[in-house]
Amino acid sequence: TGDDIALPYFTGSRQLQDTLRDPTASIIAGVGAALGGLMPPHLRYSQSHQKLTSNFLWSHGYNAFGPFSNSTGFSQIAIDSILMNSVISRLDASVERVSDALLRMDDFADKYLYDPLGVGISEGKPLGLLERLQKRGKGDSGPLLVSYQTLRDLHDDLLELEKMMSRHVETLYMQEPAKVHQLSDEIFKRASAFHAHSIEVLAAAEERVECCSVQHALVTRHSWSMWVRAVLVGLIAACIVALLAFLNPQARKRLRPHRRD
CA proximity to 101, closest of 206, 208, 233, 192: 192
pLDDT at 192 over 80: yes
Residues 131, 127: Cα–Cα separation, whole Å: 6
Domain range summary for the chain, segments of one domain joined by +: 4-75, 79-219, 225-255
pLDDT of amino acid 121: 37
Model confidence over 226-242: pLDDT tens digits? 665 666 667 677 766 66
How many Cα neighbours within 13 Å face the side chain of 204? 10
pTM: 0.45
pLDDT of amino acid 181: 81
